[in-house]
Amino acid sequence: MMQAEPNPPKLHRRQRRTITELPTAIGDNQGLTRDISASGLFIVQSSEQEIGSRIDFTVDLDTVSGKLKLCCEGRVVRIEKIDGKFGIGVKILSQTVKSFS
């Protein structure tokens, strides 16, 4: 279930974030989004990434028209340690959408 962030922090964010858990993959590493916007997202997973690195990742979307895979290239802009996992803030650099069944 998606919901708008009730009181977003007053940071340098340009896009409104939507809190939602969507399945993600960075290579073979599976994770979940914590929030997503038009320009980026925050992924929680078990493997760490380096700040500044470019990554290819996917986000699975389940829509009324069927399942879609958002295929993206992004840049890691933030890392947080969360309950033994890693939170990864990613700025989206490019994206394409593919349908799958």
In a domain, 38, yes or no: yes
The Cα-based distances of 35 to 42, 66, 84, 100 in angstroms read: 6, 21, 19, 23
Give the whole-number percent of the chain exceeding pLDDT 90: 78
**What's this model's pTM, rounded to 2 decimal places?**
0.81
- Domain for residue 2, yes or no? no
**Residue 5 falls within a domain, yes or no?**
no
Residue 11 maps to a domain = no
The CA distance from 97 to 75, in Å, is: 18
List Cβ neighbours of 74 (8 Å cut-off, separation of 6 or more): 40, 54, 55, 57, 90, 91, 92, 93
Quick: pLDDT tens for 21-52. Answer: 999 999 999 999 999 999 999 999 999 999 99
With bands split at pLDDT 50, 70 and 90, how would you rate the model's confidence at 100? confident
Q: How many domains does the chain have?
A: 1
* Residue 10 resides in a domain: no
Q: Is residue 95 part of a domain?
A: yes
Give the residue numbers spanning the domain of 42: 18-99
- Which residue type, as a one-letter code, is found at position 85? K
12 occurs within a structural domain: no
3-20: buried (b, 16+ CB within 10 Å) or exposed (e) per residue? eeeeeeeeeeeeeebebe
For residue 65, the model assigns a pLDDT of: 87
Domain of residue 32, CATH code: 2.40.10.220
For residue 64, being part of any structural domain is answered with yes
